[in-house]
Structure 1
């Protein structure tokens, strides 16, 4: 019998991959031009915001192929009054004022904060190697490496990153796929995909419109309802998934396995303009903990960077010497992931969307304190969590040995799935 000779596969475009330009792997995978193998994350220097971009990239399987850039603002003193300005304008004004007044402490140390000069690079919390976000450099990199590396995924999170991300999309639209996390308010067509919490659209509801003066609506509300390339989430994106929890459970086993159960973890944030509180909430919290502590094996308390000293002092004074209570002192290593993995229940202050979103991804009981002090879109956020059975309001009468559960909040994985779909519509995909 005569052997059958199969035709040779066609060469890869532009001779990419394989000996002599054959590149069979690239041919059957769609070529380098349609496969995203790397990502750029653009953050704003705030962990709650940057964690969303990092979480999405992690869920997409690109954690080992990411570069983190940062849009920074000068902070402290008079700078706190200029955060409503575009970041580029803010920096220029800061430099001009600094030169005129010679870094006057009187001018810049208002509100009890220290002057923070414009950093040459992002030297914050050991992240000195993070690059300042520069549109021209990122665009040039995306264009010049496209033939070899393929398209670039750009994930930006936070208000200050909007202009950077939209400029990258405008200048390199054929080479990038741009995802903006958190609502840009207007001109959503500037991005390939927008990922934002559902409560960001609360300002469009009739109830919210009653609270907003007409002349301010265009500045503080979205201009239009969500369209087909807007992904709505319940809470914030993050890096906590089942694999991360299993890893944390193993890493923190020696410290948490001997701890008496049930273990109650208390995460305390800090007041915001939408959730205003002070020592009164700290006293309410400590009173509730005194009531429920009998049903706990142990209690571990953590403060965030935003927690005012007045609040932490009240908690430490009231509970610091209790034999069942351990208060983390802020020193490394941070036990946050260990808490998420090993806790039997959580109490979390209402101000932090991020902390609540992470806790609700565990499927374990989450109690919220301070929700009645929240206003505006935070009201809608907490209402949604309660309606879905993800959280309950803390009354101080709970028996922490009685457990309850719910389908874990899975916003990050669902958002990642939508990214896959949007890429497929463009004819692109992520590396397998």
Structure 2
């Protein structure tokens, strides 16, 4: 008996497995088509070295997971990152409409639509720009995260949450300054009451993560240093936070924090340089975020929800229901 080929999803998120690429592709794909599928690529040389340029046999540059999709393409594919840009070019040739996130460094005509950060120079009739990055954080996501993490609501208020990235070439943060930040925020929490929670990210240096263990364990709050501490409480803490404090190095992290209704304070924003500084300047200039100070005073918040705007525009461009 001949085995039938499973039907392709109507919408597919395509990425290379990098967390930032996967999150953006999946967030946009799910906004355009709830329940969208996902494909994590495994690129091969020599094609991965020159992606997204098309060399002969480019379809063989990926693992077999892509091959049935080229025979039975999804109606829409959303890619993020250079490897995904090659895959979306191939899917477009097979009949899909394709959206590429981030500048693929090739002419925009190779895709139906491109979505790039405002600080990129790429512009064109089929190019949409946004402040920050794409992500899933909206009211429904926050409500689900809060319900899945009820212990967050039991933390004493005000609930202060510190989101930690790490040093980059655009944000040369130092360990002594980070240790001083922890001491300062712990002392402020102790003085005003409330709770102090901290969540690290994959780029956080080990000595920064280890420093969380030196925070007074009697101080209310959660300090998550990695998988050894259990499931990551990031989403739940984001949903329950009364105020958020972010290191300035990650556009993705800042974008998600800015999509909540909590006041957002940025630690050491003046040290940031290069392209990420453009987004940080927008957050501070629009009063969606403020530099970290000694008061952490609440202020009126209008959540920054760029993904919803981008998805609405793409529906019109691509004729999606």
Normalised by the length of structure 1, the TM-score is 0.64
Q: Are the structure 2 counterparts of residues 45 and 235 from structure 1 closer, same or farther at C-alpha, using a change threshold of 3 Å?
A: same
Q: Is the 8 A contact 1:268 1:303 kept in 2?
A: yes
User: 2:31 aligned with 1:59, yes or no?
Assistant: yes
Residue deviations 1:250-291 (CA, integer Å, cap 9, x gap): 2222x1222110101111112222222231331242243145
* Equivalent of 2:120 in 180, 196, 200: 200
User: 2:22 aligned with 1:50, yes or no?
Assistant: yes
Distance 1:308 1:133 in 2: 36
Q: Is the 8 A contact 2:186 2:196 kept in 1?
A: no
| Alpha-carbon distance, 1:133 to partner | 7.1
Q: Is the 8 A contact 1:249 1:338 kept in 2?
A: yes
Question: Partner of 1:257: helix, strand, or coil?
Answer: helix
Which is higher, the Rg of structure 1 or of structure 2? 1
| Alpha-carbon distance, 1:86 to partner | 6.2
User: 2:31 aligned with 1:70, yes or no?
Assistant: no
Residue deviations 1:25-70 (CA, integer Å, cap 9, x gap): xxxxxxxxxxx9711111111122211111112212332xx33212
Distance 2:307 2:22 in 1: 14
Aligned residues: 301
Distance 1:248 1:234 in 2: 24
* Equivalent of 2:88 in 165, 168, 176: 165
Residue deviations 1:366-393 (CA, integer Å, cap 9, x gap): 1111322322101111101111111111
Q: Structure 1: where are the runs of 5+ without partners?
A: 1-35, 75-81, 91-130, 143-150, 202-224
Distance 1:137 1:320 in 2: 55
Question: What residue number does 2:110 align with?
Answer: 190
Q: Are the structure 2 counterparts of residues 369 and 183 from structure 1 closer, same or farther at C-alpha, using a change threshold of 3 Å?
A: same
User: 2:301 aligned with 1:403, yes or no?
Assistant: no
- 1:218-237 matches, cutoff 5 A: 225-237=122-134
User: 2:222 aligned with 1:302, yes or no?
Assistant: no
Aligned CA RMSD, in angstroms, stands at 2.5
Q: Is the 8 A contact 2:25 2:101 kept in 1?
A: yes
Distance 1:164 1:365 in 2: 39
Q: Structure 2: where are the runs of 5+ without partners?
A: 1-7, 52-61
Q: Is the 8 A contact 1:139 1:168 kept in 2?
A: yes
**Hey, which bits of structure 1, 4+ residues long, moved more than 6 A?**
none
User: 2:48 aligned with 1:87, yes or no?
Assistant: yes
Question: What residue number does 1:155 align with?
Answer: 78
Question: What residue number does 2:161 align with?
Answer: 265
